[in-house]
Chains A and B, each alone.
Chain A
Amino acid sequence: MGITISNISKSYGEITALSDISFDVKPGELFGLIGPDGAGKTTLFRILTTLLIADNGQATVAGYDVLNDYKSIRNSVGYMPGRFSLYQDLTVEENLNFFATIFGTSIEENYDLVKDIYVQIEPFKNRRAGKLSGGMKQKLALSCALIHKPKVLFLDEPTTGVDPVSRKEFWEMLKRLQKKGITILVSTPYMDEAALCDRIALIQDGNILEIDTPNAIVSHFPKPLYNISTNNMYSLIESLTNYEHTYSIFPFGEFVHYTDKRDPIDKASLKTYLESQGLTDIKIEKTQPTIEDTFMELAK
């Protein structure tokens, strides 16, 4: 009763948005679709929520076929699109009431499910949705997507443009919803959020790069990875870009993440090289790859 996707393709004119995508989301799973803008995430969401028809392939959601049983799917899923799509000139409470009514239920009947989220915006229930802050809009949109007790929840970039504190709170809410038995497919461009999913698919340019648990994906990183820091980040990046043994180099916060063509790496000669470039305070230490490292390695 989760989601099955087999060989789905979709093109817009010359542009291929999805290219032969297949994967399953298990019932009750919190599954992350991780990739940048333009990867094809929204197209896949629209196909699964029956708003768009694929060129090829089959898909089922909660046991229903996306083509033949589209009406059943619409009754069984909640969808929070990336763009705020509620009625701006209805109040918070009116929006929630509206969505409950069109699904033949009431706020009271399913209050339990949205309570955690809705209490945070209830003090503003008479405010028009258009006048809410970004964080409050997001909470209202989630409440509206949940009010009919969906079996499967689709969240398209719910945290884009949201600050780290609100993002953390949002993911805590998702974990609680998952415990109530709802299957969740969520997309995000934030790689750190990937670690919070049961399984993830890395997607870019309409292709799935990899599907696995976050830990397994990280363990597939092919090379030893090093943190390098010096007195000057700009010169460090320039120097390593021009170094003959560099395999990959990416800035990562206060460090540069570096992999070497040689196996094993020759730390002493690397250090000598950096010193010859006028750099000081050189530190080279082995580090653990993250999902972002893996994504960049696969996308290269």
Chain B
Amino acid sequence: MMKDNNVIQVENLSKLFGDFAAVNQISFQVKAGEIFGFLGANGAGKTTAMKMLIGISSPTSGKATVAGFDVYKETESIKKNIGYMSQKFALYDDLTVKENITFFGGIYGLSKKQIEHKRRELVEELGLQEVTNSLVASLPLGWKQKLAFSVSLLHEPKIVFLDEPTGGVDPITRRQFWEMIYKAAHNGTTIFVTTHYMDEAEYCDRVSIMVDGKIEALDTPKKLKEHYKTDTMNDVFLKLARG
């Protein structure tokens, strides 16, 4: 089912609300281990497109597979094979660090033994020994986001979807977060990420820019900058999205 090593394969995918095309015939592929930046202005259709890819919204037309599974018929398999985090929903504030890990490990179908092992590994790696029994609500935002990212990787998914993972996070933690992303990609996990920080767009292997439901540009940051004759991704974005 999977062509070559594409973990996401999208062909003419559309989503209509009434006669409004929120996503209008988009096509793209994401390769295994790639960091793929999914950019666009507010209201351009990013969230709608992402919802279809993670199997929680059925497309109106077109084809797509994620981790080899069909976005119409195999949404449950998609959910088992992906990780997801966003700024709005990541962890439960009123559960402790330990409880969150146990809960999400359970949801993802890990055994007690696996959860125990993962929890130790994760707590050590993030240096959370002191706060394992603290409520997540009491952690600084940056810690929460790093923990949420690690939790989204608990079941070793092929792809992880990150929806504005670094919004409002301080600049140092934002960079530590990206180092975690690099590491995950280095270990073969595919990263699908949205952001409004244009310096983060530069960290991606390739980026797509959505404008009014369509993908208007898709390439490496370097080639996009060359093509639009600018020095920064910010200028590429302004040129495209301002039309």
Q: Which residues of A contact B168 (CB under 8 A)?
A: 36-37, 157, 160, 189
- The verdict on A191 contacting chain B, using a C-beta distance below 8 Å, is yes
How many chain B residues sit at the interface, stated as a range, is: 35 or more
Q: Which residues of B contact A252 (CB under 8 A)?
A: 199
Q: In the bound complex, do residue B178 and residue A163 qualify as a contact, i.e. CB atoms below 8 Å apart?
A: no
Q: In the bound complex, do residue B175 and residue A253 qualify as a contact, i.e. CB atoms below 8 Å apart?
A: no
Q: In the bound complex, do residue B203 and residue A191 qualify as a contact, i.e. CB atoms below 8 Å apart?
A: no
- The verdict on A272 contacting chain B, using a C-beta distance below 8 Å, is no
Q: In the bound complex, do residue A168 and residue B171 qualify as a contact, i.e. CB atoms below 8 Å apart?
A: no
Q: In the bound complex, do residue B196 and residue A237 qualify as a contact, i.e. CB atoms below 8 Å apart?
A: no
Cα–Cα distance between A237 and B232 once the two chains are bound (Å): 21
Q: In the bound complex, do residue B43 and residue A234 qualify as a contact, i.e. CB atoms below 8 Å apart?
A: no
Q: Which residues of A contact B179 (CB under 8 A)?
A: 237, 251
Q: Which of chain A's residues has its CB closest to B243's CB?
A: A165
Nearest chain B CB to A169 CB, angstrom units: 9
- The verdict on A63 contacting chain B, using a C-beta distance below 8 Å, is no
- Knowing A133-B43, A164-B196 touch, does A299 contact B170 (C-beta < 8 A)? yes
Q: Which residues of B contact A254 (CB under 8 A)?
A: 202, 221-222
- Chain B, 177-208, CB within 8 A of any chain A CB: 178-179, 182-183, 185-186, 196-199, 201-203
- Knowing A36-B141, A163-B241 touch, does A253 contact B41 (C-beta < 8 A)? no
Question: Per a CB cutoff under 8 Å, which of B140, B167, B183, B241 touches A161?
Answer: B167
- Chain A residues touching B, majority SS: mixed
How many chain A residues sit at the interface, stated as a range, is: 35 or more
Q: In the bound complex, do residue B169 and residue A251 qualify as a contact, i.e. CB atoms below 8 Å apart?
A: no
- The verdict on B27 contacting chain A, using a C-beta distance below 8 Å, is no
Question: Per a CB cutoff under 8 Å, which of B170, B186, B237 touches A165?
Answer: B237
Question: Per a CB cutoff under 8 Å, which of A39, A164, A296 touches B234?
Answer: A164
Q: Which of chain B's residues has its CB closest to A164's CB?
A: B237
Nearest chain A CB to B199 CB, angstrom units: 4
Q: In the bound complex, do residue B164 and residue A161 qualify as a contact, i.e. CB atoms below 8 Å apart?
A: yes
Cα–Cα distance between A251 and B200 once the two chains are bound (Å): 9
Q: In the bound complex, do residue A299 and residue B172 qualify as a contact, i.e. CB atoms below 8 Å apart?
A: yes
Question: Per a CB cutoff under 8 Å, which of B178, B186, B221 touches A251?
Answer: B178
Q: Which residues of A contact B222 (CB under 8 A)?
A: 254
- Knowing A161-B164, A234-B183 touch, does A37 contact B43 (C-beta < 8 A)? no
- The verdict on B142 contacting chain A, using a C-beta distance below 8 Å, is yes
Cα–Cα distance between A165 and B168 once the two chains are bound (Å): 18
Cα–Cα distance between A295 and B175 once the two chains are bound (Å): 13
Q: Which residues of B contact A36 (CB under 8 A)?
A: 141-142, 168-171, 173
Q: Mark A243-265, 1 if CB is under 8 A from B, else 0.
A: 00000001111100000000000
- The verdict on A162 contacting chain B, using a C-beta distance below 8 Å, is yes
Q: Which of chain A's residues has its CB closest to B178's CB?
A: A251
Q: Which of chain B's residues has its CB closest to A250's CB?
A: B175
- The verdict on B148 contacting chain A, using a C-beta distance below 8 Å, is no
Q: In the bound complex, do residue B169 and residue A295 qualify as a contact, i.e. CB atoms below 8 Å apart?
A: no
Cα–Cα distance between A262 and B186 once the two chains are bound (Å): 31
Q: Which residues of A contact B167 (CB under 8 A)?
A: 160-161, 189
- The verdict on B1 contacting chain A, using a C-beta distance below 8 Å, is no
- Per CB-CB distance, the 3 closest pairs between chain A and chain B, nearest first, are A36-B170, A253-B202, A163-B41
